[in-house]
Amino acid sequence: MYFDIIIKIILTGVVLGGALNLAGLLTWVERKQSAVMQDRIGANRASLFGLRILGLFHPLADMLKLILKEDFTPRYAHKILHALAPFVSVFFALIAFAAIPIGNDFAWRGHAIHLQVAHINVGLLYILSVMSMGVYGVVLAGFASNNNYSFLGGLRASSQMISYEITMGVSIMGIVMMDGSLNLQNIVQAQGQYWHHLPLWGIFLQPVSFFLFLTAAMAETKRTPFDLPEGESEIIGYFVEYSGMKFGMFFLTDFLETVLASALLTTLFLGGWQIPYLFHDGFHFPWGTVWIMAQPWVILLGVIAFSIKVIFFCWFLMMIRWTLPRFRYDQLMRLGWKIMLPISLINILVTGLVMVLL
C-alpha cells in the first residue's frame, strides 16, 4: 500500500517535472527554432557565472522576469474570475498528463508497476474531456477582463475549441475501434505487433486519422495557423489584460498543451514507448540478429524513446508555427465542420467496413 503510494508520488513528480520542464525548455526551443528559420542568432544574452550555453538560461530569466513584474488587474475587471482564469488553464493542462503512459508496465518485487500516473481504463476519454475543460480558463480570461479584445478572443477560443474537439474525438475513433479499448496503455501495447516486420503503429494503420488528429491538436493548442484566440496582429488575444506571472501562466499553458498534444500524438500514432523490434527481453531484428537486454534497460529505453518522440512532435509543431500565416475565423470553422468532420466520419465508416470484411 505505502509502496504503491510512494511509487505514484515519484511518478507524479517525474511526469509533472518532465512536462513543466519541457514546457519551459520549449520557450527556448521556440526562440532558437524561429531564429534559425529567420536567419537570426536568437536569444543568447542570459548568462549565469559567465556561462551562456546558447542562451539556455533564458527560460529561467523569463520566469524570473514574469514573477517580478507587477501583477495588474484592470479597474473594471471581475477580480475573482480574472485571478482564477490562468489557474484553471494551467490546472487542466497539467492534469491531462496523468493518463499518458510513459513506459511499459513491469513487475518489481512482486508489485505491478504502471508507468502511468493514473492507470485508468478510460484514459483517452479522460484526456479529451480534460483538454476541453481547458477552454474554461480562456473563456473566463476573456470574459472577466472586461475588455472588448479579450472578449472577442474568448469567444473565438470557445467556438474554435468546441468545433475541433469533435473532430479530434471522432478522428481517433478508428484506433479505438481497432483496439477495442480506451486505455492508452492498451493502445500502445497493441502497437507492438508486426505485419511482415512492419510495426503496426497507428500512423500506418490510420494515416488519415493521424493527419486529422494532428490538425485538430494544433487547433486545440491554439498555435499558428490556428492561433485565432491570440491573433496578436488582430485582437491581441484573450490575455490582453494580464501581466506578470498570470500572463506567464497562459504562456505556459500554451507550451504545456503543445507537449500534451505531442504526447498524445506519440501515444496514439507513433507507438508511444515502443521501439521497433524491441521486445520485453531485447531486440529481435528481422534479419535475425538478437540483442538480449535486461528488463530495466528495456523499460528505460522505452521511456527515452517516448521522450524523443514527444520532443520531435514539439519541434514539428514549432516549425509549422513559424511557417504559416493565420487562418481567418470563418475559414477555420469551414475547415473544421465542412472538411475535417466529414472526413473523420468517413474514416470511421471505412475502418468499420474493413474490420467487418477482414
Partner 1 sequence: MTQTQNDTHWITEGLTVESALEHVYAKNGFHQEFVISKDSLRELAQRFRSREYFLECLSVVDYPDHFECCYQFNRWDKIHRVLVKVRNPDKTHPHFPTLSDIYEGANWYEREGYDFFGVIFDNHPHLTRLLLPETAKIHPMRKDFKGDSGTDVEDVLALIEYEDHQYEKVSQELKNKYQKDYFINMGPQHPSTHGVLRLLLHLDGERVLETYPVIGYSHRDHERMAEYKNYLQFTPNMGRMDYVGAMSFNFGYIGLIEKALGMAPSPRAEYIRVFSTELNRIASHLLWLGTYLLDLGAMTPFFYCFDDRENILDMLEMLTGERLTYNFFRFGGVAYDVPEGLGDQLKAFIPKMRGRLKDYKILIEKNIIFMKRTKEIGVLTKDQALSYGVTGPMLRACGIAYDIRKAEPYSIYPEMNFEIPTFPGCDTFARYQVRLAEIEQSLRIAEQAFAKMPEGPIKGEKAPKVSPKVPAGEFYFAVESARGHYGEYLVANGSANPYRLKQRTPSYANLSSLSSMLSGHLVADVVAVLGSTDVVMPEIDR
What are the residues binding partner 1 (CB under 8 A)? 34, 37-40, 148-149, 152, 155-156, 224-225, 227-228, 231-236, 322-331
Nearest approach in angstroms of CB 139 to partner 1 is: 16
In three-state secondary structure terms, 5 is: helix
How many CA atoms does the CB half-sphere of 207 hold within 13 Å?
1
Write b or e for each residue in 198-209: b if 16 or more Cβ atoms lie within 10 A of its Cβ, otherwise e.
ebbbbbebbeeb
Nearest approach in angstroms of CB 142 to partner 1 is: 13
Nearest approach in angstroms of CB 338 to partner 1 is: 14
Distance from the Cα of residue 78 to its chain's centroid? 30
In three-state secondary structure terms, 112 is: strand
Nearest approach in angstroms of CB 223 to partner 1 is: 11
CA distance 140 to 133: 12
- In the complex with partner 1, which residue's Cβ is closer, 143 or 201? 143
- In the complex with partner 1, which residue's Cβ is closer, 70 or 330? 330
Residues 6+ apart with CB under 8 A from 265: 210, 213, 214, 217, 313
Nearest approach in angstroms of CB 42 to partner 1 is: 11
- In the complex with partner 1, which residue's Cβ is closer, 96 or 218? 218
Three cell numbers, residue 41 = 542568432
- In the complex with partner 1, which residue's Cβ is closer, 33 or 206? 33
- In the complex with partner 1, which residue's Cβ is closer, 197 or 328? 328
- In the complex with partner 1, which residue's Cβ is closer, 155 or 261? 155
- In the complex with partner 1, which residue's Cβ is closer, 20 or 320? 320
The neighbour count for residue 41, using CB atoms within 10 Å, is 10
Closest CA to 63 of 247, 227, 223: 247
- Cβ(122)–Cβ(182) below 8 Å: yes
The neighbour count for residue 231, using CB atoms within 10 Å, is 21
Nearest approach in angstroms of CB 240 to partner 1 is: 11
Nearest approach in angstroms of CB 235 to partner 1 is: 6
CA dihedral 192, 193, 199, 200 (to 10 degrees): -100
Nearest approach in angstroms of CB 326 to partner 1 is: 3
- In the complex with partner 1, which residue's Cβ is closer, 140 or 152? 152
Question: What is each CA distance from 332 to 239, 289, 337, in whole angstroms?
Answer: 21, 50, 9
* Triad 350, 352, 355: Cα angle to 5°: 110
